[in-house]
Chain A
């Protein structure tokens, strides 16, 4: 990379780094692994920078490849620290400014119950805000498969302790947010 390319690379990372790190964390459902994937993705992007037209799409593709590689290496991990059923009615977002810190373990724990493939579809669709058609194209599967996988994955997520409460109270919370943000 020459100086101008380095500046452009640094600019891209400054603008997109946070969301890429968050995407990686969700895809791996582990903050440490997410950090590693993020760094590895940047290394690969830096190596191909002069030839990449769409850096964000390139990063997404790299992360997808890493997820696939990880999936081949190890079997699906099921969280060993699930909340007990007694916490089902607990909404960790309610009235707490440290929502992220409390929500993350709950969400990552739930995401770990999905297969890597399911997790990738859910994260791309709901975090990365890709349409079902875009997810299908990226993963090389049909839009129908995306739709059905999403449906099954969300049902599975909803059964996880800590997550189910969020859906139960979803209507109220979402409405309140809309009012507050208005």
Chain B
């Protein structure tokens, strides 16, 4: 091809894209996504130290003055034997079951994120947009206002964010849901183990995780609770699962970082190094805030400011 035509091709491609600029928050979004992924990985991998050291960590289901359950076991729940903490969680379950499920092709969740780090907390406010049909978009919609039709989207990577179809597939029986959460977490652990083994061919690969079942169930349940498009039945069942998970602490009259009345549900991993908290709206069962504290890190917070549902293409999520 003559040089001049090559030059035309180059100019054409350059000129046709010269007004496209990357969103300023793209890097922050990727970092936040990575932090969240790393945190989940560490939660699954937590417990190895305790197990190797043979520590016996007592786990109890308590609240202020609440009764304790037996360590390391899943207590059977009967109405007559509910602790104060379990009663609060069952109230949340009822509130969630009675809530109205809003619908829309898109869910726009505005959240304020505070990330702890070596140089102090960093705060950002951003919209997370979830396509409620089958696919998920992690704030990758800055081009949407220019697009006349809802954009085609890429499904997020495996294990990152569940799609609506994934959510719909969860059982809503508490016992089956607990089993499902455990099975999924074990799959992730097995996958991580096989990946670690690939990096260490010929050598003995130490276990990537010795988390207890209760660690895995709590992590799985709280990772689902903040999803804005859970069905009332699934949200209700998740609270019942937490009510039967040893080590869960409940503060029925707490507040989230924005001062909103909340039920605080928290649990320290059985090896005692990571504390995960979630704050729920006592009237609707909706999640208001999630927070976590890992050793040597500040507190990481995600404060959910608003959730909107829409059937039309959302606006620019980078407007904040």
The interface of chain A, by Cβ under 8 A from chain B, is: 1-3, 6, 9-10, 13-14, 17-18, 20-22, 25-26, 30-40, 42-47, 49, 66, 93, 99-101, 103-104, 106-108, 122-123, 126-127, 129, 150-151, 154, 157, 163, 166-167, 170-171, 173-174, 177
| B residues 1-36 in Cβ contact with A at 8 Å | 1, 4-22, 26-31, 33-35
A9 to B30, CA, bound (A): 10
Beyond A18-B21, A170-B5, whether A123 also contacts B13 by CB under 8 A is yes
> What is the chain A residue whose CB lies nearest that of B1?
A154
Pick the contact of B22: A13, A44, A101, A127 (CB < 8 A).
Answer: A13
* Bound complex: CA A49 to CA B142 (Å): 24
Contacting pair B22 A21 (CB below 8 A):
yes
- Selected from B16, B144, B152, the residue in CB contact (under 8 A) with A104 is B16
Query: Would you call B143 and A35 a contact (CB within 8 A)?
Result: yes
Please, which residue of chain A has its CB at the minimum distance from the CB of B160?
A: A43
Closest A-B pairs by Cβ, 8 of them: A17-B22, A32-B151, A13-B27, A39-B140, A22-B17, A42-B30, A103-B16, A46-B34
Contact B140 A1 (CB under 8 A): no
Apart from the given pairs A1-B35, A123-B13, A174-B11, 16 other A-B contacts in the complex at a CB distance below 8 Å: A1-B31, A9-B31, A18-B21, A18-B22, A25-B20, A26-B17, A32-B143, A32-B152, A35-B141, A35-B142, A39-B26, A39-B30, A40-B154, A107-B12, A150-B1, A177-B11
- Give bound CA distance, A20 to B139, whole Å: 17
Tell me whether B157 is interfacial, beta carbon within 8 Å: yes
Residues of B within 8 A of A39 (CB): 26, 29-30, 138-140
* Chain B residue nearest to A126 in the complex (CB): B9
User: Residue on B with the closest CB to A4?
Assistant: B118
**Most A CB atoms within 10 A — which of B11, B12, B151?**
B12
Interface residues on B, range: 35 or more
Chain B residues near A (Cβ < 8 Å): 1, 4-22, 26-31, 33-35, 37, 117-119, 137-144, 146-147, 151-154, 156-157
B14 A127 Cβ-Cβ under 8 A: yes
Give chain A residues whose Cβ lies under 8 Å from the Cβ of B5. 154, 167, 170
Distance in angstroms between the alpha carbons of A104 and B144 in the assembled complex? 16
User: In the assembled complex, how far is the CB of residue A13 from the closest CB belonging to chain B, in whole angstroms?
Assistant: 4
With A20-B22, A46-B30, A126-B6 as given contacts, are A31 and B154 in contact (CB-CB < 8 Å)? no
A31 partner, pick from B28, B119, B143, beta carbons under 8 A: B143
Compute the total of residue contacts between A and B using a CB distance below 8 Å: 152
Considering the chains assembled together, what is the distance between the CA atoms of A85 and B22 in angstroms? 34
Whether the Cβ atoms of B29 and A99 lie closer than 8 Å is no
Asked if A9 contacts B27 (CB within 8 A), the reply is: yes
A38, B22: Cβ atoms under 8 Å? yes
Most interface-central of A26, A49, A126, A163 (chain B CB within 10 A): A126
| A31 with B34: CB separation less than 8 A | no
Between A and B, 19 residue pairs with Cβ closer than 8 Å are: A1-B35, A3-B117, A6-B31, A6-B117, A10-B27, A13-B22, A13-B26, A17-B22, A17-B26, A32-B153, A35-B140, A35-B141, A36-B153, A38-B140, A43-B33, A122-B9, A127-B10, A166-B8, A173-B8
